[in-house]
Amino acid sequence: MLEYGLDAVNCLALIGDGASVNHNAFKQHLEKQIPNAKFVVCMAHSWNNVHGELIKNLPLLVKFLARVQKLFCHSGARKQQFKDFVMARGLHFTSPVFYCKTRWSTYLRSIRYWVKYIDEIEAFVEQLKVSGKVAKCLQYVREMFSNMDEKYKLLFHLRAIDHIGDRLEAELTKCENNSLPFAPYVLKATARIFSTFEGLLLDNELDPHTPAEGRTNGWTRKLWYTESKT
């Protein structure tokens, strides 16, 4: 502040992340020097915490993303195998998208990628042969797909989040590039997420007469969500 000739009395806010060390530094030292200021937690960092809570409450989805990432991220050969496998089915191929814990929107981009290629990755892991530590990872993914309860729960999570993907990804990108406190687009993003999931129900929950076997037959390509009209 001295360097730029700013009067400490005119400082009204100090913005930082929610780490306790920043709160303590403000309370113990800076508050005396800038008496009119309030400590404001950056909304971008707050949004990161919200996103972290979302991921933490979807453990099956996180495990799936982590396992497929381990299968591919350190093996160019397996990426090429997957590319050849997908193209042999007559589909356009794009490279797998992996998440990074410090880049919030990469979870979303990875989810949206696997929504597109979920049938292909299921078929690919069934015929894939690996050894070493990756073999345990491969076995886990195979077991996840063979367990119908886990498989369709995973599909629902993937497709539900993909449903709000376009809007949510735009808001997350803004948050990553801007740390203004109480930014209106952050508040708008949380409102949109809430309104979307508020009426979210599995298709079968809307029809009590749907046979139980409908949950496991022929729905792989079908959207696993619908917005309730009640």
Give the model confidence (pLDDT) of 186-221 as tens digits.
556 556 555 655 554 444 444 445 444 444 333 333
Residue 3 lies in a domain: no
Same domain, 126 and 201: yes
Same domain, 132 and 20: no
Same domain, 32 and 142: no
Residue 36 lies in a domain: yes
- Overall pTM > 0.75: no
Number of domains in the chain: 2
- Report how far apart, in Å, the C-alpha atoms of 36 and of each of 16, 20, 32, 221 are: 17, 21, 9, 58
Same domain, 24 and 60: no
pLDDT < 70 regions, the chain: 43-44, 46-52, 54, 102-105, 165-166, 168-230
Residue 2 lies in a domain: no
Which pLDDT score is estimated for 35? 85
Which pLDDT score is estimated for 162? 82
Domain containing residue 210: 46-227
Residue 1 lies in a domain: no
